[in-house]
Every structure is written in C-alpha cells, then in structure tokens.
Copies of this chain bind each other. A is one copy, B any other.
Amino acid sequence: MLIGRVVGSVVATQKDEKLTNRKFLLVQVHNPQNEPTSQYVVAVDSVGAGPEDMVMYATGSSARQTELTDGRPCDAVVMAVVDSWDLGGENIYEKWA
C-alpha cells in the first residue's frame, strides 16, 4: 500500500455496469515525510473517505478484495483512512491534532 491524500474525485457516467454507484477518488501519493509526490491514482472508495483525508490504497488484484470491488474492473481501492503514522520514532501525521 501507499499513503496518499484525497485531492478530488472523478465522475464517469459511461462505464462498465459493474462500477455503477462506485465513487472514484483522486489520490495524490505522499512520501513517508508526508510530502506530495508526482504520483497519483484514481481509486474506488470502500471506507467512506472524505476530501483532504489521508488514506491508504491497495492495487492490483488486492484492490478487488472488498465487497464494493469484488469481481469488478477496478485496480485500486482506498481501504483505510489513516489516523497517524510515525517515522524513525517521530510522529509525522496525526489526523486529530
């Protein structure tokens, strides 16, 4: 998994029917120091993540191991909202700070 920030969302009406009612989040990948990188992904939301949330996403076949993505043409899923992380013993991010 990688850590990222929800920076937007994508709307698509004309899509595979198995993706109806799925929410597509635009996620900017962050590095362990919590700086944005140039990498991004569009991931289906499986946990009710909101704008600006720091999240984790999984890719590949692992992205289909949630109820909302099982058997669907989806290669990335937001499977967790991040509360906090530490790096080298130092707290880097704290959601409720």
Contact = CB atoms under 8 A, between A and B. Distances in A.
Contact of A83 (B13, B58, B69, B80): B13
Contacts of A66: 16, 18, 73
Contacts of A32: 7-8, 26, 28, 40
Measured as residues with beta carbon below 8 angstroms from the partner, the interface class of chain A is 35 or more
A64 to B, nearest CB: 6
Contacts of A79: 15-16, 19, 73-74
A21 B73 CA distance: 20
Given A73-B58, A79-B73, A80-B16, A10 B41 contact: no
Contacts of A12: 56, 80-83
